[in-house]
Amino acid sequence: MDAPGIFTVLAAAYGLFLVAVAWGFDLMAKQTANRTMSNQAGTFRYLEEHDAWQCPEDQWLWPSSFDPENRVMRYRANPTVCNTCPVKDACTVSHHGREVTRQLDPWPHSDSGRFHRGIALGVAAMAYLLPLCSMITNHSLSEILISVGTLIVITGLGVYPLARHLWNTPSNAPKIVAPEMSNREAELSAQIDRFSSKYGNSTRTRYGSDRRKEKEAS
C-alpha cells in the first residue's frame, strides 16, 4: 500500500480541526449565554421547588408573566416591599418591583442558542470540503481510506450531533410543547393565587393582563 500524499493528510487534519472549532464555538456561545443569565440575576437565588427567586434581602420574586414567543418567564417582587428596601437604589430603579427573567428551555433551544448552533453546524459542514476533494482527486487505497475515515468522523462527531440537537427544538415540535405550556400556565396561575393574598394582587393583575393581551392577539 502506497503512503498517502501530503494533500490527503492535510485535508484530513483540516477537516478534524474544523470539527473541533465548531464544538469550541458552540461551547463558548453556551458559556456566554449562561454567564449573561447569571449576571442578570446577580446574587438572586432561584428556588426550583417554589418556582421563585429569593433576593439577598430574603424577599421573594414570584411569577408575573410568561413570554410564549421567547419562552421566557418573568418574576417580579412586590412593589411595596421593593420600594421600602434599604438597598433598592443599588438593585433597581423601577417603582414596580425588581424583575428577573428565566429562560425555560435549555441550550440551545432559545433563539440565540439556535442561531449560534447553526453557525457551529455550518463550520462543521465546511469540514467536508477538502476531504471530499482529496477523495475525488487521489485514488490510491491509502488516500481513499483516510478520506473516507475522515468523512465518517466528521459526520459522527460533528455534523450529525449538531444537526440533531438543532432540529430537536420547541419550534420543530409544537405538538409536544403546546401541552407543556398549557400545564405550565395552569401551575403558575395556581401559584399566583396562592401567594397573592400575602404579597398583594399586583402579580395577579400583571399576569392576567398579559394573558388577556395574548388571547386578544391570537
In 3D space, the residue among 35, 56, 34, 52 whose CA is nearest the CA of residue 44 turns out to be: 56
Phi, psi of 14 (to 5 degrees): -65, -45
Its pTM surpasses 0.85: no
Contact assessment for residue 116 and residue 166, using Cβ atoms and an 8 Å cutoff: no
Give residue for cell 395574548.
214
Q: Long-range pairs for 152-155 at CB < 8 Å and ≥24 separation?
A: 153/15, 153/16, 153/19, 154/15, 154/16, 154/18, 154/19, 154/124, 154/127, 154/128
Encode pLDDT of 163-211 as tens digits. Answer: 987 787 655 433 333 334 445 444 545 444 444 444 444 434 444 444 4
pLDDT for 42-62, tens place per residue?
788 888 888 899 998 888 999
What are the structural domain ranges in the chain? Answer: 6-217
